[in-house]
Amino acid sequence: MTDEDADWRPTAKLEALRVRAETLASIRRFFAERGVLEVETPALSAATVTDLHLHSVACRLEADDRRTRYLQTSPEFAMKRLLAAGSGPIYQICKAFRDGERGRRHNPEFTMLEWYRPGWDHHRLIDEIDELLQAVLGVAAGERLSYADAFLRHAGIDPHAASDGELRSRVAALGVSDVSELDRDDLLNLLLSHSVEHRLGVGRPTFLFDYPASQAALARVRPGHPPVAERFEVFIDGIELANGFHELTDPEEQRRRFAADLAERRRRGLPEVAVDERLLAALASGLPDCAGVALGVDRLVMLKIGTRDIADVIAFPIDRA
């Protein structure tokens, strides 16, 4: 093995690391100019997300009587506690951890930018994200596209009106085997990833909004025909860059959603996790009406330097950590 091939070396070139540092500095300038407070919250917590599609990293500490703690998949819960305590608008740049995520666009440890705007809805937050992307990436102003319109345009099907059978047939036609056990959201997610996502954000960012109510997660649901979740995702060149909500503030509804997630985890044989009672207490105390978003910093730098491999923007990904 030559010195050039030694795996002690960083996978990212020095120039990419400089661009990364400049990107972080420009993000901080952006928020400083707008009076948004930078905060820090724990990476290690007693509770974690119940989301079926996120796998937390659990550990035990001798200093904590070997009780289970979790490396956070995002700082969301702790930041909402700060909002409920009267912090005003806040942002954070931090490490997040998700097990089972590894590939050209994923590293189990990654860098996240998350921020919250009290008194804003998700559409106003989309405007600010658009401004941030123009400032950091130099891209054109983004397009707004509803989830339904994206499916109609790129998959030729109405995601709200189509029957489960129609969705199952469409997914089977993509070559996915054994679709009989997939639920409606699984089917929609497969159609989104196989038929829609790669067509989004071409030439300018796409802000995809008004998701099915069943995919609300921690977002509000707006009544209507059909009801929709007030959440959005941001895509550039087919890459999902950010995920945001007009945040749910009702503690009882949030508790019901956590319980539904845990029941589905049991049904699927997934690990059960502790519900974050401190978050629920903060909601009960009074989380202000707000919108929030989580944005992948590594992917932002990938777009800035024009690479499709996350290892090109991280000094030491998991296989060299």
Interior angle at CA 146, CA 141 and CA 150, nearest 5: 95
Q: Which residues lie closer than 8 Å to 121 by C-beta, 6 or more apart?
A: 230, 246, 289, 291
- Dihedral angle sign, alpha carbons of residues 263, 194, 236, 16: positive
**Model confidence, pTM:** 0.94
For the stretch 137-160, pLDDT in tens is 999 999 999 999 999 999 999 999
Query: Domains of the chain (ranges plus CATH)?
Result: 3-142+201-320 (3.30.930.10)
Q: Using alpha carbons, list the distances in angstroms from residue 2 to 5, 6, 211, 318, 321.
A: 5, 7, 51, 22, 20
Instruction: Give the pLDDT score at 178.
Output: 83
- Under DSSP, the state recorded for 192 is I
Under-70 pLDDT residues of the chain: 1-5
Sign of CA dihedral 119, 54, 47, 220: positive
pLDDT of residue 2: 58
The confidence score (pLDDT) of residue 4 equals 58
What is the model's pLDDT at position 120?
Answer: 99
Residue 53's CB is within 10 A of a number of other CB atoms, namely 12
DSSP 185: H
Helix and strand totals (H; E) in the chain: 9, 12
- At 3 the pLDDT is 55
Contact call for residues 72 and 92 (beta carbons, < 8 A): no
Say what the pLDDT of residue 100 is. 83
* Confidence at residue 83, expressed as pLDDT on a 0 to 100 scale: 99
pLDDT at 181: 83
Q: What is the pLDDT of residue 147?
A: 98
Long-range pairs of 103-106 with CB within 8 A, sequence gap ≥ 24 = 104/308, 104/309, 104/310, 104/311, 105/239, 105/299, 105/302, 105/308, 105/310, 106/310
310, 24 in Cβ contact below 8 A?
no
| Per-residue model confidence (pLDDT) at position 139 | 97
Model confidence pLDDT, tens digit, residues 103-125: 889 999 999 999 999 999 999 99
